[in-house]
Chain A
Amino acid sequence: MKALLIRGGRVIDPAGGRDEPRDVLLRDGKIAAIENPGKIKAPDAEVFNAKGLVVAPGLIDIHVHLREPGQGYKETIATGTAAAAAGGFTTVCAMPNTVPVNDAPEITRWMQAPERGASIRVLPIAAATRGSMGEALTDYAALKEAGAIAVTDDGKPILGDAIMLETLRAAAPLGLPVIQHAEDTRLTGGGSMNAGALAFRLGLRGMPVEAESSLVERDIALLRQVRGAHLHVAHLSTRKALDAVRAARKQGLHVTCEVTPHHFALTEERIGLYDTNAKMNPPLRAESDRAAMIEGILDGTVDAIATDHAPHATHEKEQEFERAPNGITGLEIALGLAMQVLHVRHKMPLARVLALLSSRPAEALGLKGLGGLAVGSAANVVVFDPAEKWVFRAAESRSKSKNTPFDGWELQGRVRLTVSEGRIAYRR
């Protein structure tokens, strides 16, 4: 592996509090040196000219669906991580709703095997219950040993109080976060979009905000009963649920949460005339909820921006709205959307935007040694042009699927180089 000298960039490392012009030398898969411009002498290294560009920790997406094993027609670990690398990510956490469900160490290991052809690091999140059926716990210790970094039944929320309590109790001593897709499915049956006047007009059954907030509130109540447990709320989308997280955190409870780019960038209006590329779960909400996501991001309540990258084949999305599956792709545009909406529109400092995509998600899920640019740590680096405006074209996506509501969107901030553990995973 050839050494790489990233020269002349603006190095932003939120975890290390660094924001200054520096050269960065990557050698043997590690960050070998970060020095004043021109100081590093490495004649053997390939040089990447980063003048005018930002050099930051490789981005971390703690919520993606890579569809393998079992649904390779939607995405494979190879194509999903290629898309991730193009989006500046060097680490993705893969959800367990695969076929079969990732509820056993063999599957967890299979996902991380070199044969999968991942171009960046894949950290599996294992199922909290067998088959994600919400009945019997999986073997958390064995799953952790195999590489799982958290447990969840994502998409099939753990509704039973007793089983959720059991989950928190089993995960706590192992230091595993319990991730909940907060949706009381008893309140969302048959629903395909946010409940309200728009759903009413479109003749679509609605999913009320209370379906999310009530389960977050229930989970927080259970969390109080388990010392050392950690609840992570996936893809939070409502003001009510965000308020519950904020209040719980003030009381010292270990609750973290993530928000997707689409929930801070779009509202339910994007559905237009039944565009299934605007159908996902949780659904796009009303403007007041979208605004609340921005507030939560700006005030620090939100720990991470996560894409909930959920690829689906064209024929699955070209169906009647109520029949089409939930989910959209998101890996290649997360940075561009975060830059466009948070940095440009809401004036959030660049370092804080980047923290939400690197150091803070790493901290939220306890991913040691990731999300920063410390010398000696793994050479996970993204280099991007913070000023470049570009138009996202779904047809050119590296993902196997093209289901996105952002086709044709103008974004700001474009990835130029992604280095995963010293290897160039993406360059343009």
Chain B
Amino acid sequence: MTQQEDREEMALTRATVRKPPQKLSSPSFFNLPIHPGSAISAKDFSAAEVRRILESADALEKENPMRRANRLAKRRVALLFYESSTRTRTSFELAAKALGADTTLVSSLSSSIEKGESLKDTGITLKALGAECIILRSPYSGAPYLLARATGLPVLNAGDGMAEHPSQALLDLRTILQFLGIRSSAVTEKTLRGVTVTICGDILHSRVARSNALLLPQLGAKVMLCGPRELLPEYAAGMGPGIVVERDFEAALRQSKIVMMLRIQAERLAGLQVDLDDYRSRYQASAERIVKHAPKALIMHPGPIIRGLEITAEVADGLQSGIAQQVHNGVPIRMALLERALRGDKARKGGGR
């Protein structure tokens, strides 16, 4: 048989082969369900859901520590951190321990992540080791969805790339409500009607800005994004309802009861040039500016603070500052999120107390 004939023979054989048998239909990876106890995006929280979380945070904060430590006794929570973190990691860890859970920290510098293990495989490994909930911080936007699909576990997003930081938005909200004197039980979609929240700085690279901008309008607030064009593109206002862009910081201050300052994320600038002197002169929260334009506003900052750049020491440490309160609110909010993530499962397994 010549090669040519051989080919023809092959082609004919191939053609007469019947259609391959139907494979068992499994949903494609991207259609796999996300565990409902997950907290990945602030836009997933309705006003009612937010109220439940806030009420749970209040209750857990007040609860007797010994009783509280039974809530998630010996449940296994993994903290998977691909980026450094002080506040978020510590408060998640304290929150888990306060509820009695066992925690384990996996960070990129001391694990197989360094050897090139994928997020999917790391997640499967943690699950096989008994993790019931994973708290993830990743430099990649959307990574928590990947982990949630791969493991089927509740995933708490502790910050993903430039995308979201929902637990931060919730603790910010708790701080705002405390400042305004609004009880958690009163939270509805109208609670923050008439309240303008300015978020100023490096909006482009900020997951805190995104989560707040997606969460606060759900309760009726108006979010005013402020910053230079290179850190705040015009189309940012299009990411959700209730969001506007204001380039003039002082004009924004005059309208706002709440002012959130953000740091410039040097690690994510990717070659972008920002004139820092010019930035200070236009956007810095200085004592003079705050006294003149927003003397009664609550000044917030998710940290880390770069004193002397986006905010001066006088303002950060001043009477209007809510920065320490924000940090304080981290533990109760994260206790509520952990309980929310794990309690449903317990009930389903018939082990609820």
Contacts and interface: CB of A to CB of B under 8 A. Distances in A.
B145 A423 contact: no
A295 interface: no
Contacts of B4: 114
Nearest to A206: B233
B11 A319 contact: no
Interface stretch (A104-112, A195-203, A219-227, A355-363): A195-203
A202 B214 CA distance: 11
Contacts of A315: 118
A82 interface: yes
Nearest to B237: A197
B: interface residue count bin: 35 or more
A272 interface: yes
Given A203-B160, A274-B142, A323-B140, A425 B150 contact: no
A56 to B, nearest CB: 19
A320 B146 contact: yes
Interface in A387-428: 393-396, 402, 407, 420, 423-428
B161 A203 contact: yes
Interface in B306-323: none
B25 to A, nearest CB: 7
Nearest to B12: A424
A417 B349 CA distance: 54
Interface in B271-318: 271
B13 to A, nearest CB: 10
A301 B197 CA distance: 49
Interface residues of A, number: 44
Contacts of B120: 318-319
Interface stretch (B16-24, B65-73, B180-188, B333-341): B16-24
B162 interface: yes
Given A203-B164, A273-B142, A396 B8 contact: no
A273 B238 CA distance: 18
Interface in B13-62: 14-16, 19-20, 22-23, 25-26, 28-30, 34
A275 B239 contact: no
Given A82-B14, A393-B25, A396-B22, 20 more contacts: A119-B14, A189-B270, A197-B236, A200-B235, A200-B236, A202-B142, A203-B162, A203-B164, A203-B207, A204-B142, A205-B270, A318-B146, A320-B141, A322-B140, A396-B23, A402-B28, A407-B28, A424-B15, A425-B14, A425-B15
Interface of B: 3-4, 7-8, 10-12, 14-16, 19-20, 22-23, 25-26, 28-30, 34, 118-120, 138, 140-143, 145-146, 150, 160-164, 204, 207, 210, 214, 233, 235-240, 270-271
9 contacts: A197-B237, A200-B235, A201-B240, A202-B142, A315-B118, A319-B119, A321-B141, A322-B161, A395-B23
